[in-house]
Structures are given as structure tokens and as C-alpha cells.
Copies of this chain bind each other. A is one copy, B any other.
Amino acid sequence: MTEEFSLSTPAGTGFADITAQVRQSLHRALEAYAAAGGDPEQAEGVCRVFCPHTTGAITINENADPDVLHDLAIGLARAFPDRSEFRHAEGNSAAHLKSSCIGASETVLIRGGRLVLGTWQGIYFCEFDGPRRRTFLVQTELRRSLP
């Protein structure tokens, strides 16, 4: 099952916590799995979260202290600043660079019908060239776990 979500992003760089949307999508997939005769508590698999934009990305990082997100934005801006040698006329090459370094997708494991995330992990949509209207996809795949 693949679902699409949309969001509005702030100016410049921002991180939107999308963990709740991924859990919603998993919940609907588990309902379909149960309707087809599967046992959700034995379901194993993955949620794949994909960003279809070349100046956005998906990452997993700390969900407790928002200062971590502030510091991620600063650290990426310093490592990948705009540079005078850049040629791309749109002027957002630094955002494209951050997108490739963070990556377009994350794969989150499912075990016993639940997302396997560490205590401090949240899933984030990363905006590097906002503000924009954006979308992301969540594909959930479930099957019976082997003994």
C-alpha cells in the first residue's frame, strides 16, 4: 500500500516531524492486512518514506529537543554553503547538495505490527529551499514473520 501526503514548508531550511503520518499509514496497511486474513501482531515488514523533490530529503533524528533540528540546519549550512563557483542559475545548488547528502528516502522496519524506532528517533521531512508545497510517499509492505 502506497499513500501520499502533502505539507507546507517554511522559508529556507526546516524539518517537519512526519512520524505520525507514517504511523497512520502503517495503521491503514495493518487493517487491510487483517482484512485479508493476516495477524497484525505477527506482521513484519517496512515502511518506506520517499521524498520526490530534489531540494528536500527524509531523515531520522532526535524527536525530543528541537534544538537538535536547529543545530542540524546550521551544521548543514556551514558544511554546504552557497559558493561562487556554482553555476546552476536557480541559485539553490546548496539545497540540492544537502538533498543528496541526507538522501531521498528512509526505510523503517516493522516488527510485531509496530514501527521499530529507537526511543529518541523521529522521522523528518527536510526542506532545504522553502517555502514550498511538498509531498512525500509512504509505502508499507507487510508479511508474516518467519519463526
Contacts and interface: CB of A to CB of B under 8 A. Distances in A.
Interface of A: 1-2, 29, 32-33, 36, 44, 46, 48, 50, 52-54, 59-62, 65, 67-68, 70-72, 74-76, 78-80, 83, 85-90, 93-94, 96-97, 99-109, 111, 116-118, 120-121, 137, 139, 141, 143, 145-147
Given A86-B71, A93-B68, A96-B68, A109 B2 contact: yes
A93 B106 contact: no
B70 A78 contact: no
Contacts of A104: 59-60, 106, 121
A107 B89 CA distance: 29
Given A32-B147, A86-B71, A116 B99 contact: no
A107 B107 contact: yes
Nearest to A31: B146
Contacts of A109: 2, 48, 50, 137, 139
